[in-house]
Amino acid sequence: MLENLEKTQRIIKVAANSRTHAVAGAIAGTIREHRCADVQAIGAGAVNQAVKAIAIARNYLIGDGLDIVCGPELSEIDADGQRLTAIRFRLETRI
Amino acid sequence: MLENLEKTQRIIKVAANSRTHAVAGAIAGTIREHRCADVQAIGAGAVNQAVKAIAIARNYLIGDGLDIVCGPELSEIDADGQRLTAIRFRLETRI
């Protein structure tokens, strides 16, 4: 239960109007703490912001000696009864 | 020289109107042969198609026992004298 709660807290949701540097900061903070993070985006504008934020976060984390890679997945989600296809980026530190 | 040529051939350029399954097939083929590939996209629509194609290619490659991860980078490119920011996804097989 606690583990699921922690996992939920690591999902960073990105919108088309999210500021890339703010999202990048959230990603970098989560990676520093947990060594992994999930970023979710729905729609082309949101996916674009998410990818830019991940690229910026990679630069933020160089100073910590951390390199992140992501495995994007298509994920069906339910938003107010509507089925939507989200992109889920599973970020983890490179071993 | 030959190495540079080979590297150029591995850059898969994605546009907003690229068909995701066709791009996914190109990614999977390149990964099977070289174990790495570069995917480049400019603009939100193209980035979205690229990410979806990478997610689909990951499914294609499960049968080959291969899992790919990507490290997105912001990359400045020159297109007909215009400076544009491209997203470059460096794909590699997970060790």
Q: What is the mean pLDDT of chain A?
A: 90
How many structural domains does chain B have? 1
- Which positions ≥6 away from B73 have C-beta within 8 Å? A55, A58, B87, B88, B89, B90
CB B54 within 8 A of CB B39: yes
In the three-class reduction of DSSP (H, G, I as helix; E, B as strand; rest coil), residue A92 is classed as: strand
Q: Which residue of B lies nearest to A87 if distances are taken between CA atoms?
A: B52
Q: Which residue of B lies nearest to A42 if distances are taken between CA atoms?
A: B48
Nearest by Cα to B57 from B90, B12, B18, B20: B20
Instruction: List chain B residues with CB under 8 Å of A67.
Output: 71
Name the strand (E) or helix (H) holding B67: none
Contact B69 A71 (CB under 8 A): yes
| A74 near B CB under 8 A | yes
Q: Please give the pLDDT value at position A25.
A: 97
* Structure tokens, B41: 């996209």
**pLDDT tens digits, B78-94:** 888 888 889 999 999 98
Q: Is the pLDDT of residue A6 over 90?
A: no
Please give the ipTM for the structure prediction.
Answer: 0.87
Question: What is the span of the domain harbouring residue B37?
Answer: 2-93
CATH number of the domain that residue A84 is part of: 3.30.110.20
Name the strand (E) or helix (H) holding A23: helix A20-34
